[in-house]
Amino acid sequence: MTEFLQQLLNGLSLGAVYALIALGYTMVYGVLRFINFAHSDVFMVGAFAGYYLNRWMPSDSMAGGLAILAGSMAFCALLGVVIERLAYRPLRRRSRLNVLITAIGVSLLLEYTGQFLFGAAPKPFPQLFPVRTFQFAGGLIVSTNQLAVLVLTPLLLAALHFIVLKTRFGTAMRAISFHPVAATLVGINLDRVISFTFALGSALAAAGGILYSLNYQSIDPLMGVLPGLKAFVAAVVGGIGNIPGAALGGLLLGIIETFVNGSRWSTATDAIAFALLILILLFRPAGLLGKLEVEKV
Amino acid sequence: MNAPASPLLELRGCTIRFGGLTAVSGLDLAVGERELLGLIGPNGAGKTTVFNLITGVYRPAAGNIRFAGSSLAGLRPCQIASLGIARTFQNIRLFPSMTVFDNVRVAFHLHLLSGIAHALWRGRTFRAEEESIESRVMEMLEIFRLGRHRGAAAHSLPYGDQRRLEIVRALATRPRLLLLDEPAAGMNPSEKSELMRLIRFVQERYRIAVLLVEHDMHVVRGVCQRLVVLDYGVKLAEGVPEDVLRHPKVVAAYLGEQNTPRRAPAAPAES
Amino acid sequence: MMPGRRFLLLLGAVAAGSVLSLQSHRINPYFLDVAVTVAINVILAVSLNLINGYTGQFSLGHAGFMAIGAYIAASTTMFWAPGLLPAASSPGFIGMAVFPAALLAGGLAAGLAGILVGAPSLRLKGDYLAIVTLGFGEIIRVIFRNLESVGGALGLNGIPACTNLFWTISMAALTIYAVTSMVHSTYGRGFTAVQDDEIAAEAIGINTTRYKITAFVVGAFFAGIAGGLYGHFKLSIDPRGFDFMKSIEIALMVILGGMGNTVGVIIAAILLTLLPELLRPVAEYRMMLYSFLLILLMLTCPQGLFQPRFFRRLLSPFLRGSAAPAEDPPRPA
């Protein structure tokens, strides 16, 4: 039983990180209908931003950790906006495949630039928050890092929920995802909303990057590739373009993966996400919470 | 003039719903061999949906469709095409990246004897067939005055030529029934009268039946032998054009219930 | 029976390959290595072009097919053939008789997988399909990583060195021949029709399902052969060599070459193989430069580097199908 709870806890904290990344994929997909492949590398940049911020102003207090988190989120928000501005906006009227390839290019550029600047070897990730572990009756172990994930993720999700549902930018985002042309006709500034979406998604990815690194304690320029792909899968599983769906998909995937990893099929862990993806797309192509678009003849 | 006794195409009690909307409801429709039948009705009456039902793009929730004596239930669009039903689309659907020539050539696909193996070996049979297809494509392009555009990309053609090319492509599958979905849309008066000549010519030369969806009443009157009127997915009237267009229900459907005038709808729903 | 002009070209390429191969001891081994790599990448890119470029089914799983071919072919020459014919394990026999059979086996196994991987294309399009095929490729890789009989995560070592210029050039020529022959026929225009408009294609009687699966099977078959050549060239294979970066690299060749433009894709495959070699002096910036160029290319010429019209005219006597008519200048829209 404790074993089960422990695994569930580990799964939840991994899933929470997937959810944070998945939200960025899903929001960009919602407004622009394309897979932002570079998102997984923004996640990586977020982790490195945290690493270097900590070197400048080392922190082991709660507030210091949060400041570093905020700093990294702000940096990545900017990065996301710049990427969209330089690489994606000029291609907005081109085919989606062109944009997809450009996104792959941006992803590679970030990875290789990362390898050039930070070196390819993994770096130990510092403890941003005071470290403590709590042991519960029965042997359940919870670390402050896990707590950070489990507390911060719901807070970030709530903030996102508020922004999307209650603010003007959120309303504009939703309008664009329903019908971009109609949205511009009623006076929504497409460019600004898209920039905002990228900023929001990238900030969440940065948060994901830091929370992920806190628990894995090692970062490298290619660290985003696999979590990024899996988070994308989580977004599709939940129904791409659907914000609660991304969160749900992320949690689900994190939990399933953790349990498989703990079983005797642990070597197949990396394939789980893709197997899940294929099953979902074959039997419920719109995802768990998504709606299917049908081509009109 | 009534529905043909032994029709080529027959819809019986066809119904389809999209969500809560019943797009076509209990429709009976018959097209005779070599008949020119018009299917008219106000916008949103379900005319294109009928085409999509016949060609297998949609499956009816109830009712059945028979063509040349056999049921079309459960067939894929490509199987229905192979039985001899060809169509054009309301919003032209050519193969934009292919040349005019290839757009027609690919439609000979259905009657092709050589497949992958022949294409790989490129033996005498293959080359003979390719040559005969080439000459038949050119012949058709010349008949429809598209020959000089043969090497142009299909998407670069003027609008009227694109519509014509779509008809040629449909004919290249050697259909027994041709479904035309608003072929006159976006055409000017002289193009329209040319289109009318074209439809009559096609029906005579290729000895096929034509089911025409069209808003332009001038074209409909000039071409169709018989009309079926659809409104809100239900058949309102059926018969020769003069009678049908004077039918009070039809007039009401086009012009609204309140002030039903005496005259027939001249050219309603100019969209 | 008189084969066509294309077929003679194919025979010419095979003959050239055997001459070069016999003289290969005179060629600088470095150039030899690069030449074999180029030819293998040409096979991969041209075969993917059938799926991505002509049929419009954006697949990012090509490395998976390559992996299947590599593992099956290597298993054939290393385990199965010696097991069946213990007497015939002389290197010469393996090189000339077992190896082609091994390549064929690798190709067929990959083709079979093509049916499975192609199946989602019946329901999915564009980037969704891309990600699912990528997932399939990764799953194939994970499967091999868990197969202890072929070395698991450590990979398979000691594969006989059967790949030479003759086999790679012949197979590259065969791939180009097969793909262009298929596509340049009335039958083959159906692939492009599927890419352009599936609904219109069905309406003229094209079975889009069959075409898509055919494209995947044929594309996967040649990728499998490329994998077999790769394994018997590198002499050791491991699952990491077939990850999705490899798939993306092959897809880049297709996109830069201009989707559905075989000549362009061949040139792109050659250039993209040589580019990292040429960038060796600036090794540190190499991959940064590479990805930066990629973005720049997408922004400036999204149709691919090699516009079809120019190259088609240049090479028309070799590539034009007998049935294609003369090209009129296209009219402005």
Average of pLDDT values for C279-306? 79
Distance CA C9, CA C315 (A): 13
Lowest mean pLDDT among B34-38, B257-261, C302-306: B257-261
Chains that touch A (3 or more CB pairs under 8 A): B, C
- Nearest Cα residue in chain A from C199: A297
CB-based contact B122 C7, cutoff 8 Å: yes
B89: chain A residues, CB-CB within 8 Å: 297
Cβ–Cβ contacts within 10 Å for residue A270, how many?
18
pLDDT band at C172 (very low <50, low <70, confident <90, very high): very high
* A282 has a chain B CB within 8 A of its CB: no
User: DSSP secondary-structure letter at C97?
Assistant: I
C331: pLDDT strictly greater than 50: no
- What was the pLDDT predicted at C309? 54
A129 min Cα distance to partner chain C (Å):
34
In the structure encoding, which two tokens stand for residue C99, read together? 């190896």
Residue extents of the structural domains in chain B: 1-84+175-271, 97-172
pLDDT band at C220 (very low <50, low <70, confident <90, very high): very high
CB-based contact A94 C302, cutoff 8 Å: yes
The answer as to whether A8 is a domain residue is no
pLDDT band at B253 (very low <50, low <70, confident <90, very high): confident
B182: pLDDT strictly greater than 90: yes
Distance CA B30, CA B12 (A): 9
Mutate to test the interface with A, among C49, C55, C124, C139 (most CBs of A within 10 A): C139
A116: chain C residues, CB-CB within 8 Å: 284-285, 288
Q: Which domain covers residue A193, as residue numbers?
A: 15-223
Q: What are all long-range contacts of C284-293, with beta carbons under 8 Å and residues at least 24 apart?
A: C284/A116, C285/A116, C287/A108, C287/A112, C287/A115, C288/A109, C288/A112, C288/A113, C288/A116, C290/A108, C290/A112, C291/A105, C291/A106, C291/A108, C291/A109, C291/A111, C291/A112, C292/A105, C292/A109
- Nearest Cα residue in chain C from A111: C288
- What was the pLDDT predicted at A296? 64
C324: pLDDT strictly greater than 60: no
- What was the pLDDT predicted at C21? 82
**Average pLDDT over chain B, rounded to whole?**
89
A297: chain B residues, CB-CB within 8 Å: 48, 52, 57, 89
- Three-state secondary-structure class, residue C146: helix
Distance CA C179, CA C172 (A): 11
Structural domain count, chain A: 1
Name the class of domain B1-84+175-271.
Answer: alpha beta
Name the class of domain C5-319.
Answer: mainly alpha
Distance CA C297, CA C275 (A): 15
- What was the pLDDT predicted at C86? 73
A94: chain C residues, CB-CB within 8 Å: 302
Work out the percent of chain B whose per-residue pLDDT is above 90: 68
Chains that touch C (3 or more CB pairs under 8 A): A, B
- Nearest Cα residue in chain A from B49: A297
Average of pLDDT values for C173-184? 93
> pLDDT digit string (tens) for B119-129?
888 888 888 99
Name the residue among A294, B107, A295 with its Cα closest to residue C201: B107
- Nearest Cα residue in chain C from A112: C288
* C4 has a chain A CB within 8 A of its CB: no
* A90 has a chain C CB within 8 A of its CB: yes
Residue extents of the structural domains in chain C: 5-319
> pLDDT digit string (tens) for B37-70?
999 998 888 899 999 999 999 999 999 999 999 9
- What was the pLDDT predicted at B258? 52
Contacts of B5 (CB under 8 A, 6+ apart): none
- Nearest Cα residue in chain A from B90: A297
B222: pLDDT strictly greater than 60: yes
* A274 has a chain C CB within 8 A of its CB: yes
Choose between C184 and B2: higher pLDDT. Answer: C184
B249: pLDDT strictly greater than 90: no
Beta-bridged to residue A254, according to DSSP, are: none
- What was the pLDDT predicted at C307? 63
Lowest mean pLDDT among A131-135, C103-107, C132-136, C217-221: A131-135
- What was the pLDDT predicted at C3? 56
CB-based contact C135 A277, cutoff 8 Å: yes
How far is residue B42 from each of residues B45, B118, B131, B235, measured CA to CA in Å? 6, 50, 46, 12
The residue with tokens 């939703």 is: A174
- What was the pLDDT predicted at C313? 52
B265: pLDDT strictly greater than 50: no
- What was the pLDDT predicted at C323? 37
C23: pLDDT strictly greater than 60: yes
* B89 has a chain A CB within 8 A of its CB: yes
Name the residue among A142, A113, A138, A139 with its Cα closest to residue A44: A113
Q: What is the ipTM of this complex?
A: 0.89
Mutate to test the interface with A, among C298, C299, C305 (most CBs of A within 10 A): C298
Distance CA B129, CA C182 (A): 15
> pLDDT digit string (tens) for C41-98?
999 999 999 999 999 998 999 999 999 999 999 999 999 888 887 766 677 777 778 9
* C284 has a chain A CB within 8 A of its CB: yes
The answer as to whether A288 is a domain residue is no
Nearest CB to C186; choose among B78, B105, B152: B105
> Residue-wise over A226-262: b if at least 16 C-beta within 10 A, else e?
ebbbbbbbbbbbbbbbbbebbbbbbbbbbbbbbbbbb
Largest CA distance in chain C: 69
> Residue-wise over A102-114: b if at least 16 C-beta within 10 A, else e?
bbbbbbbbbbbbb
Distance CA A213, CA A223 (A): 9
- What was the pLDDT predicted at B170? 96
CB-based contact C204 B133, cutoff 8 Å: no
The answer as to whether A233 is a domain residue is no
B14: pLDDT strictly greater than 80: yes
Element (H, E) at C212: helix C208-234
Q: Which residues of chain A have pLDDT under 50?
A: none
Average of pLDDT values for C190-218? 95
Chain B window 212-271: which residues touch C at a Cβ cutoff of 8 Å?
Answer: none
Average of pLDDT values for C34-43? 96
